[in-house]
Structure 1
Amino acid sequence: MAAISTCFFFTVRPTNTQSIVFSRKSFVLKPSRIHSQGLRYRSKRRSSVNFVRASGLVESDNVPSDVRKRAMEAVDALGKRVTVGDVASKAGLQLTQAQKALQALASDTNGFLEVSDEGDVLYVFPKDYRSNLTAKSFRMKIEPLLEKAKLAGEYLVRVSFGTALIASIVIVYTTIIAILSSRSEEDNRGRRGRSYDSGFSFYLSPTDLFWYWDPYYYRRRRVREESGGMNFIESVFSFVFGDGDPNQEIEEERWKLIGKYISSNGGVVAAEELAPFLDVETPNKTDDESYILPVLLRFDGQPEVDEEGNILYRFPSLQRTAAPQRSVRKEYVGKRWTDWVGQVERFLQEKKLQFSKTSSSERALVIGLGGLNLFGVIVLGTMLKNMTVSPSNFISFVSEIFPLLQIYAGSFFTIPLIRWFLVRKRNGEIERRNRAREQYARALERPNVSLRRKLLSARDMAQRTFIGQERIVYSTDKDLYEQDYDAQQWEQRFREIEKSE
């Protein structure tokens, strides 16, 4: 393998507004690996470490919040000394996303870079890098507040829709009573008494209507949700609109599983090994492996052909790590293979959608009140059309907002009906995808002769390289003259190795 032993001048460019310049007097590097890490080298010597940044600029603010959070979680989980491949596989990020996030975080938190004897670039972060970043970034300070405001706004919509049902019932039946009373003053008291003493009752806590006066209501509501409870106001919204998509974060989970599986298997896999995590609805009966293309693009993979003509896929960036792991052992190919390697899930399983999380009694109460409201709106509409007396101010006001009451009463049952059909359709699709992934997973547990030989070939080609401190030949955290002495010692050892060969 070609190597270069000379003086290099490197420029790491995390963003357009900053650069990290450092030099190395003498060590072996692979130019291809340098370019893959975003480094540029020149045969030129430099004797200083120079950080160039725009004043007051926080580079991490230019990274999407989701990418930054996932990268930081991966950094914490991997011990704060990572490669780009480590973060990409752990967080399920694209290599370019992981690299940009690491460069920005290192720039903002006084992190430093290490370069191995083969040109691998490692990012090392201090223990308090999170607090350093939060102190600098106004965006990170307000993000928790914005998230709380978003959750509070969403909950406000939920309780408002439920409260509207109670308000609609009160307005509709109060108007009906007012119209009847205007027709006959003699029957007013009797009708009013019968209206309010009809025996109908339902449970409605005052705190459900006035939740915004209670500063601890939101916290108690979350406790109820975790224990499976739901108050009446929330159950109305749940019945009409549902409770959200349980697979909202399925893509993030998918890429985390794929990245973990590839790295655990030494960076070389067969297409059949990744099928249990992808959306291949029916087991492939042909040699078409185009479904693996998104994985190659995300983790910079490349196809390779083994001695037997099998097509395998290598991911070089996921083969080099700063986190020591167990070696890949080919005798585990077959049953329980995925259970042994890194405890990776057997296959990606989507959750089925629920029509509503409400209990049967809560649903019956909501349907009953919705039906009562719809019946009242129909009756009121007829009465407003046949009015012969001059309406009062209240009745005139109700006449003006009556179209809104009709829309609310009609959508109360129309939306759930449409949603019921959509939920059934989507659950059927989810079940088919889950069944196909499980079939691929079972095929890996009990592979036929052809697939077993393919898996064994992939394990033979696997390579997992741990980059320890003994392989670091340059660090931006050390003085250049100190590293010059280390470099001379390393170069002497390298020459001895060359002579022995």
Structure 2
Amino acid sequence: MKPPIYSYNRRAVESRLVQAFRKRGREATVADLIAATGLPRLQIEETLPQVVRDYRGHLRVTESGEILYHFPHGVHHRERSPRARAARLLRRIGRGAAAVGKLVFKLWIMLMLVGYFVLFVALVIAALMASLAASAKSEGRSRGRSIGGTYMMTRLIQQVFWLWMFSGRRRGYGYRGAAIGSGIGGSRTRSNGLDWSASRSEGDGPPLHQSVFAFVFGSDDPAREWETRERQAFVELVQTHKGVVTLDELRAMSGRSLDEAHDLMNRMLLEYDGEPDVTEQGSLIYRFPELLRTAEPSDRRGGRIDRLLPAMPTVPFNDNSPGLNRWIGVLNGVNLGFGAYFTGFGLAGGLPEEGFGLFYSIVVVLFSEIAANPLGLVLIGLGVVPLVFSLLFYLIPVLRWRIVSQRNTRIARRNARQDVLQGLMAAATTGTAEVDPHAIVRGTEDRDEIRLRLEVLNEIAAELQADIEAEEAPEAGSAEFAANLAGGAAHDRLRYRFPDLVRQQADVQRLREGINPDDYRTGKVVFDSNE
């Protein structure tokens, strides 16, 4: 039987700690929590990582070297608060509605886009045939043209069907779209993005209906497994740095913001049995000794942070070729035009006998053979429905493009932060406190990228309490002044110094030198259940 100190209600301990934090103004040390709750130190220390993680806490180090648990956003559970529960419920409803809507719209696309396109083209051919038949003077000419029109319509339906269902697979009717970046599809031999070749096209690309879905809903997210890759990189960071890492090293590896890095570190502490600690010089570090107990050789030391995790890939609009996207847009544009045409004339009423409305009148006459109310059927079936569908077909990609653009902006900032922090950490590891902004923007000539990196540098300088020094500016009116002004190089006169970062890295490096990886070796096998 476990002693009472080891057997306890974890939820009750968590509740008492949360109440203590709220009474003490969102921050406290372990000693403060012991005094406020009367709980054993072991129970508090075992429960604190969970509290810090669930309530988005941060760790601070005081001048005396004590760890101060701080909750800058208030002591609110990220999942149990009314706001979090409502947000989670809305997300679930939204995901469910999006999944259902996506499935329904996919089926609608298959029925509507090509179906209506074929129907409209068939109506044009039928109207042309009727017009020719009415004006023909000989029965032979009428029959010949009727047979020719029927053959044209049959071939059109056949070609569109094979293109829709089996393009990219069916021999002789394939297309090969020049994919963007991912290499999907084959080479393109025509400027419109389609290759109507008689060769085997099996495996050259996805069917056209999948490309249409990608046009509307996008292709697979290239970063869908990013969280897993980030975790693997973190474990490698710990193992190559002797089980000791800092928050700044985690940020340099991942490119996360300060709050995001705190959240990730808290989660890693909880999931990988880590613990925060403070060095004798007052540097906050995080130890993960259990991750060092590996059967791999112990010579994996000092791995470079910039090689652990690559830049996060941006999200493409889709993987279709530009030419294929244009053709899909044209196909929907035809439906949009006909839908607007029939809606306009249907609402206007009447049957024009000549001019632009003659085609509408012929279609109404044709539909009178199969419907008692051809005017209503034409208005709704050929006007309103394809018009609404076509507008949605354009609207959804436009909205998605805006969402993708915003996400790519966040990804670009994250990648810039990762780049800048890795440069700062590399300089700090060698004992260099001063950073030249030119080194931060070296290798890029894009003005937006340069501006983004400098914004990130200023953001990081504020977070790390860097010293910013300004050199003496050139005299106004001089050639050097004019050159700087024209190039937008105001940062040329600034120098950034990160003495605290250099001190921290030197402190942590001394600590790592005192850690012997052999102490964590698994050793020889002394028992095997198979023997």
TM-score with structure 1 setting the length: 0.50
Q: 1:423 aligns with which of 404, 429, 447?
A: 404
CA distance, structure 2, for counterparts of residue 216 and residue 294 of structure 1: 52
2:137 is aligned with 1:161:
no
CA distance, structure 1, for counterparts of residue 403 and residue 158 of structure 2: 31
Check the 8 A contact 2:176/2:185 in 1, yes or no: no
Per the TM alignment, residue 348 of structure 1 is displaced from its structure 2 partner at its CA by: 4.5
CA distance, structure 1, for counterparts of residue 422 and residue 227 of structure 2: 19
Per the TM alignment, residue 312 of structure 1 is displaced from its structure 2 partner at its CA by: 1.1
Q: 1:313 aligns with which of 286, 304, 311?
A: 286
Per the TM alignment, residue 282 of structure 1 is displaced from its structure 2 partner at its CA by: 6.6
Which residue identity lines up with residue 314 of structure 2 in the other structure? K
| SS, match of residue 409 in structure 1 | helix
> What is the CA deviation profile of residues 38-82 of structure 1, one whole-angstrom value per residue up to 9, with x for unaligned ones?
xxxxxxxxxxxxxxxxxxxxxxxxxxxxxxxxxxxxxxxxxxxxx
Alignment match, 2:339: 377
Per the TM alignment, residue 291 of structure 1 is displaced from its structure 2 partner at its CA by: 5.6
Alignment match, 1:235: 211
Check the 8 A contact 1:175/1:398 in 2, yes or no: no
Alignment match, 2:369: 392
Alignment match, 1:466: 521
Q: 1:211 aligns with which of 149, 159, 166?
A: 166
CA distance, structure 2, for counterparts of residue 307 and residue 222 of structure 1: 62
CA distance, structure 1, for counterparts of residue 269 and residue 165 of structure 2: 53
Q: 1:338 aligns with which of 290, 298, 304?
A: 304
| Higher strand content, 1 or 2 | 1
Check the 8 A contact 2:274/2:289 in 1, yes or no: yes
Alignment match, 1:456: 509
Per the TM alignment, residue 393 of structure 1 is displaced from its structure 2 partner at its CA by: 1.9
Per the TM alignment, residue 326 of structure 1 is displaced from its structure 2 partner at its CA by: 0.8
Aligned length: 309
> What is the CA deviation profile of residues 355-386 of structure 1, one whole-angstrom value per residue up to 9, with x for unaligned ones?
12222222222222221111011112234343
Q: Are the structure 2 counterparts of residues 456 and 433 from structure 1 closer, same or farther at C-alpha, using a change threshold of 3 Å?
A: same
Q: Are the structure 2 counterparts of residues 427 and 186 from structure 1 closer, same or farther at C-alpha, using a change threshold of 3 Å?
A: same
Check the 8 A contact 1:319/1:463 in 2, yes or no: no
Alignment match, 1:443: 424
Q: Are the structure 2 counterparts of residues 408 and 398 from structure 1 closer, same or farther at C-alpha, using a change threshold of 3 Å?
A: same
Q: Are the structure 2 counterparts of residues 170 and 410 from structure 1 closer, same or farther at C-alpha, using a change threshold of 3 Å?
A: same
| SS, match of residue 469 in structure 1 | coil
Per the TM alignment, residue 352 of structure 1 is displaced from its structure 2 partner at its CA by: 0.9
Alignment match, 1:359: 321
Alignment match, 1:281: 257
> What is the CA deviation profile of residues 193-252 of structure 1, one whole-angstrom value per residue up to 9, with x for unaligned ones?
899999xx999675443439x8999xx999998543445444322222221321111111
CA distance, structure 2, for counterparts of residue 196 and residue 379 of structure 1: 27
Per the TM alignment, residue 256 of structure 1 is displaced from its structure 2 partner at its CA by: 0.9
CA distance, structure 1, for counterparts of residue 504 and residue 151 of structure 2: 75
CA distance, structure 1, for counterparts of residue 515 and residue 225 of structure 2: 30
Q: 352-361 or 203-212, which moves further after superposition? A: 203-212
CA distance, structure 2, for counterparts of residue 203 and residue 181 of structure 1: 20
Q: Are the structure 2 counterparts of residues 185 and 290 from structure 1 closer, same or farther at C-alpha, using a change threshold of 3 Å?
A: closer
Which residue identity lines up with residue 452 of structure 1 in the other structure? Q
Which residue identity lines up with residue 420 of structure 2 in the other structure? Q
CA distance, structure 2, for counterparts of residue 216 and residue 196 of structure 1: 23
Alignment match, 1:150: none
Q: Are the structure 2 counterparts of residues 358 and 444 from structure 1 closer, same or farther at C-alpha, using a change threshold of 3 Å?
A: same
Q: 1:412 aligns with which of 357, 368, 393?
A: 393
CA distance, structure 2, for counterparts of residue 356 and residue 263 of structure 1: 38
Q: Are the structure 2 counterparts of residues 187 and 279 from structure 1 closer, same or farther at C-alpha, using a change threshold of 3 Å?
A: farther
Which residue identity lines up with residue 211 of structure 1 in the other structure? F
> What is the CA deviation profile of residues 268-310 of structure 1, one whole-angstrom value per residue up to 9, with x for unaligned ones?
11221111344533799xxx95662222122121011222221
CA distance, structure 2, for counterparts of residue 314 and residue 439 of structure 1: 25
In angstroms, what is the RMSD of aligned CA positions?
Answer: 4.9
Alignment match, 2:311: 349
Please, which runs of 5 or more residues in structure 2 have no aligned partner? 2-6, 8-101, 137-141, 187-204, 352-363, 434-501
Alignment match, 1:111: none
CA distance, structure 1, for counterparts of residue 345 and residue 241 of structure 2: 74
Which residue identity lines up with residue 330 of structure 2 in the other structure? G
Per the TM alignment, residue 317 of structure 1 is displaced from its structure 2 partner at its CA by: 1.5
Alignment match, 2:245: 269
| SS, match of residue 358 in structure 1 | coil
2:258 is aligned with 1:296:
no
Which residue identity lines up with residue 522 of structure 2 in the other structure? I
CA distance, structure 2, for counterparts of residue 442 and residue 203 of structure 1: 60
> What is the CA deviation profile of residues 311-363 of structure 1, one whole-angstrom value per residue up to 9, with x for unaligned ones?
111112202122223153xxx5xxxx517xxxx72444211111122222222
CA distance, structure 1, for counterparts of residue 292 and residue 225 of structure 2: 27
Alignment match, 2:225: 249
Check the 8 A contact 1:262/1:268 in 2, yes or no: yes
- Relative contact order, CA 8 A, sep 6+: which one is greater? 1
CA distance, structure 1, for counterparts of residue 514 and residue 313 of structure 2: 36
Per the TM alignment, residue 431 of structure 1 is displaced from its structure 2 partner at its CA by: 0.3
CA distance, structure 2, for counterparts of residue 243 and residue 158 of structure 1: 14
